[in-house]
Amino acid sequence: MPAMLLLSMMRREAARNALAAVAQAIAVDVFPTRRKRSRPQHFRNGIAAVLDASSEVAFRPGLLATLFYATRERVRAELRYGVDEFRRAATPASKRERLLLVAVPSAAAGVALVIRARRTSDGFEPVESSEEQRPAVVLAE
């Protein structure tokens, strides 16, 4: 029985080390940096940071142990860095791109509304209501 517990602990440790190795292989930067990176590089750094943080937390014997390791400062800092890298990957690089990201859909919606208004005669679609179209409610006795 003690040998099985030892093997179980060794497997968990090996799995945590494997996650950490995968995270290190994916990362563009070995250490967190604020240097200018491309969007795919920010995304890779974010994935690597989340994998590295999960290597500290995952494969613990119970929920309390998992929560204990999740509250450690190193793990929380790594998760914050990973989320920040995902945010940087999702945010356009220049102010012009950010402006276009907002302006183009707004302009397209405005053009679509103008086209729709011109297609209808009065600027709105008439709604016809008649008594014949309403379904009759019949109570069965």
Assess if residue 73 is contained within a domain: yes
pLDDT of 137 higher than 60: yes
Assess if residue 118 is contained within a domain: no
Assess if residue 11 is contained within a domain: yes
Assess if residue 70 is contained within a domain: yes
CB 16 within 8 A of CB 56: yes
The answer to whether the Cα torsion of 51, 52, 54, 60 is positive or negative is positive
pLDDT of 14 higher than 80: yes
- Using one digit for the tens of pLDDT, what is the confidence trace for 45-104? 899 999 999 988 888 888 898 889 888 999 999 999 999 989 888 887 778 877 887 788
- Using one digit for the tens of pLDDT, what is the confidence trace for 104-124? 888 888 888 888 777 775 545
11: containing domain: 7-90
What local confidence, expressed as pLDDT, does residue 32 receive?
66
Assess if residue 30 is contained within a domain: yes
Assess if residue 135 is contained within a domain: no
**In sequence order, which residues have a C-beta less than 8 Å from that of residue 43 and are 6 or more positions away?**
85, 86, 89
Assess if residue 105 is contained within a domain: no
- Domain count within the chain: 1
Assess if residue 119 is contained within a domain: no
